[in-house]
Amino acid sequence: MDGTEWRDLIDLLRYHLEIIQKWEPDLPDAGALRCEQSRHRTLAHLRACQEQWLPVVTAFIDRDSPSVKILHPWRQFDLGNYAALPWDVHMKRFVEDRQRWLSFRDSVDWNRGGKRNLKSDTIGGLTKHLANHESHHIGLL
């Protein structure tokens, strides 16, 4: 990854934030089992992903070669009862965490890394994973 690709990824995350903030609020839908069946469920899932991966990025920034264990985002979604939480709760946390991630644009070494659930990863790799994952979900709605 070079500096241009890194900045493009951060710009894509910023663009995703703009798209998501324009979504009309959606009530929890107990019948929605997949993200594409509900904007609410999609927002909650994207929040869970970002919420789990952001501490990994922060650990990669703060320590040399850390090994960080996290929950799978769907596990966090279930444990936090995200399917039933109000839209505003998800949006507030999603925006806060996204602003934190965007703040890394010019201040981190995107090649810095460690292990996430025993697998090697980097700040740039996690950012790319997040951006691609969001692109997929946004494309389904």
CB 67 within 8 A of CB 114: yes
Q: Name residues whose C-beta falls within 8 Å of residue 13's C-beta, 6 or more positions apart in sequence.
A: 98, 101, 102, 127, 130, 131, 134
**pLDDT per residue of the chain (141 residues) written in tens, 0 to 9:** 899 999 999 999 999 999 999 999 999 988 888 888 899 999 999 999 999 999 999 999 999 999 999 999 999 999 999 999 999 999 999 999 999 999 999 999 999 999 999 999 999 999 999 999 999 999 998
Structural domain boundaries of the chain? 3-26+48-140
The pTM for the full model equals: 0.94
Rounded Cα distance, 66 and 93, in Å: 25
> CB-hemisphere CA count at 13 Å for 86?
3
Q: CATH topology for 3-26+48-140?
A: Four Helix Bundle (Hemerythrin (Met), subunit A) (1.20.120)
Rounded Cα distance, 110 and 88, in Å: 31
Rounded Cα distance, 137 and 37, in Å: 11
